[in-house]
Homo-oligomer: A and B are copies of this chain.
Amino acid sequence: MSNREANYIKKLRNSGLRPTKQRIKICEALFDRDKTFHFSISDLMKIIKNLHNEKISLATVYNTIHAFQKKGYLKEINLGNENSFYDTNTSLHHHFYDEQTKELIDINSEEVELKKIPTPPSGKKIEDIEVTFKISKNI
């Protein structure tokens, strides 16, 4: 058993999730990465199919992603409304978004600063702020 695998097992147990082989594989697909991973369920299905040539049922992938989201290991992101996207970076952060290529790139919170902030409607307070920079090819 690899060191990483042991960590996933620990993490799953600590969250009250049984460390099944399916969940460990999904952890590997999602979290064995240098950079933040932005993905749809169908992206993930393809990756799992390639990574291990053993399959995990679609229902299990949905179940697991929802469980991980509930435990705070994933954040849902709102892009085009075709299908759901998830983000392995669960901290508050911003994005570059290329609508042509559908590519999303993380921006750390510190790299964006607001000078002027609008007053929220009465009785409401600002919970968090998310900035999307739509980008496109330079001529």
- Residue ranges of A at the interface with B (Cβ–Cβ < 8 Å): 76, 78-81, 83-85, 94, 96, 98, 105, 107, 111-118, 120-121, 123-138
Q: How many copies does the complex hold?
A: 2
Task: Tell me the bound Cα distance from A138 to B111 in angstroms.
Answer: 28
A102 to chain B, nearest CB (A): 12
A72 to chain B, nearest CB (A): 16
* A115 close to B118 (CB less than 8 A): no
Q: How far is the CB of A34 from chain B (nearest CB, A)?
A: 16
Q: How far is the CA of A70 from the CA of B132 in the complex (A)?
A: 22
Distance (whole angstroms) from the CB of A25 to the closest CB of chain B: 25
Given A84-B81, A118-B112, A126:B130 Cβ within 8 A:
no
A134/B124 in contact, CB under 8 A: no
B115 A114 Cβ-Cβ under 8 A: yes
Q: With the chains together, A123 CA to B139 CA distance in Å?
A: 8
Could you tell me if B116 and A113 are in contact, using CB atoms closer than 8 angstroms?
A: yes
Q: Say whether B112 contacts A116, CB under 8 Å.
A: yes
